[in-house]
A and B are shown apart, each in its own frame.
Chain A
Amino acid sequence: NAGVMQNPRHLVRRRGQEARLRCSPMKGHSHVYWYRQLPEEGLKFMVYLQKENIIDESGMPKERFSAEFPKEGPSILRIQQVVRGDSAAYFCASSPAGASNQPQHFGDGTRLSIL
């Protein structure tokens, strides 16, 4: 499968625990984007990364949330000390390097549930 791969598909955490969401971009893509979707809403941008660099994190909460895209391995979205309001579907998308007017392609998301 050459598409964007996200895991896990479903993640259950108790309040106060940490959640780690992983994303492997499409082959040949070096730009990764994370979005969050609350029930009955559209997707909201969180963070845009290139390899080893955060380009735009304007949509990410200042506290408890962090993201990385290391030189080797998948991109990781990390949520520390989760709260009930973090329950959502988290989608990752990727696009080619230097892309202008190239669509982002999405993974199937991680559904995060906080007990």
Chain B
Amino acid sequence: DQQVKQNSPSLSVQEGRISILNCDYTNSMFDYFLWYKKYPAEGPTFLISISSIKDKNEDGRFTVFLNKSAKHLSLHIVPSQPGDSAVYFCAASANRIQGAQKLVFGQGTRLTINP
């Protein structure tokens, strides 16, 4: 039962253009969503998050959009840079539920930024 899905295993984008990574979820109890970036042989690095009371959160080149009715979120990176090449994981949790802060991860999308 894959509660968080990233349907694109890979994405290739030209340097300077916009990268859009997508994520879908099925559990309506999820109320906190995060994006992590991961390089090989390292742990996931937190990028940006959004609470379910918002539909957009922006931090520098990174913006996360949340569409609760569609149970869909996306990460926009603009402009894309070569250092953005990594695997990106979407994650969700149900923070309203006591003790339920565990993260449920998608399978990841490998982003490659081409010079």
What residues of chain A have their CB less than 8 Å away from a CB belonging to chain B?
4, 6, 31, 33, 35, 41-45, 48, 55-56, 58-59, 91, 93, 95, 99-101, 103-109, 111
A25 to chain B, nearest CB (A): 13
Residue of A nearest to B45 (CB): A106
Contact A109 B43 (CB under 8 A): yes
B26 to chain A, nearest CB (A): 15
Q: Bound complex: CA of A66 vs CA of B16, how far in Å?
A: 47
Q: Bound complex: CA of A35 vs CA of B105, how far in Å?
A: 10
* Candidate in A31, A35, A43, A100 with the most chain B CB atoms within 10 angstroms: A43
Interface-forming stretch among B62-70, B72-80, B93-101? B93-101
Q: Size range of the interface on B?
A: 20 to 34
- Residue in B43, B100, B102 whose CB lies within 8 Å of A106: B43
Q: Bound complex: CA of A111 vs CA of B32, how far in Å?
A: 29
- Residue in B36, B101, B104, B108 whose CB lies within 8 Å of A99: B101
Contact A4 B104 (CB under 8 A): no
Report chain B residues within 8 Å CB of A105. Answer: 46
Report chain B residues within 8 Å CB of A111. Answer: 41
Report chain A residues within 8 Å CB of B51. Answer: 101
A37 to chain B, nearest CB (A): 9
Q: Is residue B21 within 8 Å, beta carbon to beta carbon, of the partner chain? A: no
Contact B102 A41 (CB under 8 A): no
Report chain A residues within 8 Å CB of B32. Answer: 101
Residue of B nearest to A6 (CB): B43
Return 12 A-B CB contacts under 8 Å, by A number: A42-B107, A48-B101, A55-B99, A56-B102, A99-B101, A100-B95, A101-B32, A101-B51, A103-B34, A108-B41, A108-B42, A111-B41
